[in-house]
Structure formats: C-alpha cells, structure tokens
Structure 1
Amino acid sequence: MSAVPLVKSGSFDGLAKGYDQHRPRYPAALLRGIRPWAAPAPQLDVVDIGAGTGIALEGLIAELGPAHRYHAVDVSADMIATGREKLPQVTWLLGRAEDVLRTMPRMDVVLAAQAMQWMDREAVLAAVRERLSPGGVMAILQNNRDYARSAFLDAYESLLEELSPGYSRRYRAIDYAAELRAVFDGSYDVVVAAETRWVMHMPAEAFVGMSRSSTQVQRAIAAHGDGFTERLAALLAQHAPGGAVDVPYESQLFLGVASAGAGG
C-alpha cells in the first residue's frame, strides 16, 4: 500500500474544463450497486474524495436522490471551481482527503472514483475507518481503459509508456479488496460488488481532448512537446480512419461495509 501521495495540490489545475467535458462517466449499474448497502436513513452524509469536477458524484446523486447531504473533497481549486458551478448544492472542500475526512463528524457513504491511486491510501482508509458511521459504506470505483480488447488502446498505452516519464499502464492494478481487509481488520465485510465492460464511441477530437486532460499526457507534452501530439495524431489516423474510435472500458466497484459496532 502506498505510503506517499502520488499527486500534489495543483497537479490538475488548468485541466478542469477539459476534464469535465471529455472524461467518461461511470456506468449507472455500478453506482446503483452502492445504494442497497447504504443505511436506509432519510438523510445521509455522502462524501466524494478526490472528486475532481464531480463526475462520479453527479451520477451518485441521481441514484441516491437529492435529499442527502453531499460533500466533495479535492486538492485542486480549479477542479472545485468547475464542480461548484455544476453542482452548487454540494459542499466543496479543498484539501487532502485524509485531512478533510478527519474534520467531519460522521460519514455514511464515502466514494473514491478514479482517485485512490493518487492518494496515501493507508492514511485515507484509516481516516475513513475512524469517521465512518456504523453500517456506513466505503466505495472505490474506477474506469480502466481495456487495452487488451483494442489494438488502438494497446498502441496508445505503449506511446504513454514511451513518452510520459514514469508511466505504466498497470498503475491502477491495485488489489483494493485486500487493502480494505487489511485496514479494516475484520470489522468490515468487503465485497467486489460489480464489474462491467462497455465501449465508448468517441470522435477522434474528443479522444484528444480526453487525453490532454490527463496528467500523464501533460507530462509527456512537457517532456516531448509536439512530438507526443504528432504521434497521437498518427495513431488516430491509423485506427480511426472514419474520424471516430471505439474505446473499451472495464469498470469496477469495490465496497467496504461497516459492521454495526464499527466507526465513529
């Protein structure tokens, strides 16, 4: 388990608008999988950590309903500003997840979507364990590009591995179920609630926009300038001759559910 955060405050600043416009949303079936585990209270405290612009939170609000108290935590002021414009009913909080979580009196649902790999996971999960209400839920959600099903994505991942310093396509290959069990020490029932595969059909320019909203791509551009963008354009010309490309995803949801006597 990582003991050092992999992203610093400000790393995503300047990317928020493109991030919100181009990033894929999360399958409703996975978000719906959180609902049966949440306590049947009329008003829950729901916290999205590493929330970005609230892409996952907008889907979760649609599934849980608007009556609950929603909070979003991120290290990027730029992401928060964009998220607040879109979801003004949410309480937006700037800071590291583990620090902000420890200031909250209680939490019923904590969501981390496409974010845990950037965090000090041990510290975050310890803070969740400390503040999660009895019967509360910790949900980890991720969309992974399924490069095994796409010659284009396989070549794209190879391009990133070549030109983005320190990048590996396996950087999200984390055993979250094992980490939940280790941190919660038997007080939680850990389940892999769902895994689903789907395909996003994208115009080539939309894929470029999504690509440019990534910190890994920004590192490649910083290191190689037009060399990266030219190589990406060549890949798209080869694999998207009609001006669009299919991007397969594998999405996963991991849940940690508190026992009745756990949490704060």
Structure 2
Amino acid sequence: MSGAPTSDPTARFSDRVADYVRYRPGYPDEVIRVLREETGLAPVHVVADVGSGTGISSKIFLDHGNRVFAVEPNPDMRAAAEAMLGGDPRFHSVAGTAEASTLPDAAVDYAVAGQAFHWFDAPRARDEFRRIVRPGGWAVLLWNARRTDTSPFLRAYEALLHEHGTDYTSVNHENITDDTLRAFFGGSYTLRTAYNEQVFDYAGLKGRLLSSSYAPNEGQPGHTPMLRAMERIFGEHQVDGRVVLEYDTKIYFAPVHPG
C-alpha cells in the first residue's frame, strides 16, 4: 500500500472536506435521549464539541437547544462547520485542539468528542477535559462504528479497505481498548449503543469511501484500483441501485473527576 496520508492528525482531512460533509453519517436521536435520561442533559447545559470537524456532532446538540463551543484545529473542516451552523447564535467556532482547547477553566457542562478520540493524545486530552468541565459535568465519546460482517456487502467492503486503504488498520478507532477508556475517564464508564445506517447509490458510496482519511485520493497510487474494486462490489451487492452501510453508534460517558 502506498500514498499514505499525512501523519499530522489535524491535517488528514483537509483534502476531502466536501466528501466528509456530504457523506459521513450523522448521529441518531437516541444519542440525545440516552444523555437526557442517564446524565440529565438539558438545553440549558453548555457543550464543548472537541474535535468537532465539520459540525456533525455539534448539530445534534444545537438541535437539542444547547450552546455549543466547536473546538477544531483543521481550518478547512472548521470553515465547513461555520458555513453549515454559523447562523445559529448558540454555535461558537473555536480554533483549538483536544489537548489545548483555548476554552476557560470550568467553561462547559459537557465535553464531547464525536468520531475523534482516536486522534487525541489521550492523557493530555483527559487533563484538558477536566480543566474545562464544571464540577458535576460529564465527558462523552461518540462513535459510529461501522458493522463489518452482518451482510455480504459489508464483508466485501471491509475486505476492500484492508486491501486498498493506506493505513486503515492502524487508524481504526476500534483499536481503542477498555484500558485506554478507563484511563481517560478516570475509572468506570457507561456504554450505550444505538443502531444507525446510511443508504447509498453508487455515487454516494464512492463519496463515503473517499471521505475516509485512509482512502487514496485522486492522483495517489492505489486510487484507481480501489475505485474499480468498489464498483465491482457495488454491482455485486446493490439492490435496486442501493447498498446499506450499517453502524452501531456507541455512546460512552462518565462524570468528569477533578484533576
């Protein structure tokens, strides 16, 4: 495999922001229901969306009525979020990182990371979450974990990523262990899971694939063979011109312990 992306996690998605905005999955309503029922999340609470990217996770909290500080180091992704959400007065775009958010001490009630934790320096991010979250607040990690073996199409798609992805295995968020999570949360945490899915035609599946940082972009070695393989897989598994990507949305949360 070749054409590896940049090793700087804050810059990995700069050349694929448009596909990220259009084709990455959102989060199901179940996320807010779980946090309301199990942590007491209310519209009055202030949320830091850390590693907010193009604003996918920020949007679910804005829709709930929360004030959101979207902390994102990548200027292209931050600009995409501002274009989508900047008209909401409760949305605040912040140039910062998980390890240095620039937010004041005890500024928020919830510190959330959606689909971003595996890019963090976890010990430093833990300290930053503890600094910015008020006493009695919560840390929340969200992932749309794509199912890999519940249908013939998903098995074929997973094999494609292993064969053609530049560094798919090493950056997979499923590499995060229970020990890593316990160290980050400072002890035990709660995990809840909700179903999520995306239904794609051929163009949509292509865009979803190219939104991934490990997919060779146009002009990189391996790009054309990857798309040929994807076209073959789509043709073999489509039903009425559509395929389904299935996800388990994982919701991890715990009270923030003082540092």
Q: Please, what TM-score do these two structures have when normalized by structure 2?
A: 0.85
- 1:140 aligned onto 2:122: no
Structure-2 change in CA distance of 1:125 and 1:220 (3 Å): farther
More displaced 10-residue stretch of structure 1: 198-207 or 71-80 = 198-207
1:35 is matched with 36
Contact 1:132-1:258 at 8 Å conserved across structures:
yes
1:233 is matched with 231
1:72 is matched with 70
1:114 is matched with 115
- 1:210 aligned onto 2:208: yes
Secondary structure in 2 matching 1:256: strand
Shift of 1:250: 1.1
Deviations 1:189-240 (A, max 9, x none): 6212x21234332222111111111111136972313111111111111111
Shift of 1:159: 1.4
One-letter amino acid of the counterpart of residue 248, structure 1:
E
Whole-Å separation in 2 of the counterparts to 1:53 and 1:104 = 25
Any stretches of 5+ residues in structure 2 without a counterpart?
A: 1-6
2:101 is matched with 100
- 1:56 aligned onto 2:85: no
Shift of 1:150: 1.9
Secondary structure in 2 matching 1:218: coil
Structure-2 change in CA distance of 1:104 and 1:83 (3 Å): farther
Whole-Å separation in 1 of the counterparts to 2:119 and 2:209 = 18
Shift of 1:70: 1.3
Contact 2:35-2:41 at 8 Å conserved across structures:
no
Secondary structure in 1 matching 2:221: helix
Shift of 1:241: 5.1
Contact 1:39-1:135 at 8 Å conserved across structures:
no
Whole-Å separation in 2 of the counterparts to 1:83 and 1:40 = 23
Shift of 1:160: 1.4
- 1:190 aligned onto 2:189: yes
% identical equivalent positions: 26
1:244 is matched with 242
Contact 1:204-1:243 at 8 Å conserved across structures:
yes
One-letter amino acid of the counterpart of residue 51, structure 1:
S
One-letter amino acid of the counterpart of residue 245, structure 1:
V
Query: RMSD across aligned C-alpha pairs, in angstroms?
Result: 2.6
Structure-2 change in CA distance of 1:37 and 1:7 (3 Å): farther
One-letter amino acid of the counterpart of residue 79, structure 1:
M
Contact 1:45-1:69 at 8 Å conserved across structures:
yes
More displaced 10-residue stretch of structure 1: 156-165 or 78-87 = 156-165
More displaced 10-residue stretch of structure 1: 112-121 or 36-45 = 36-45
More displaced 10-residue stretch of structure 1: 74-83 or 8-17 = 8-17
Shift of 1:178: 4.0
Any stretches of 5+ residues in structure 1 without a counterpart?
A: 1-5
One-letter amino acid of the counterpart of residue 254, structure 2:
G
Structure-2 change in CA distance of 1:208 and 1:190 (3 Å): same
1:3 is matched with none
More displaced 10-residue stretch of structure 1: 167-176 or 126-135 = 167-176
Whole-Å separation in 1 of the counterparts to 2:142 and 2:94 = 20
2:129 is matched with 128
Whole-Å separation in 1 of the counterparts to 2:79 and 2:170 = 30
Deviations 1:114-159 (A, max 9, x none): 1111221221112112332111011101101111202212211211
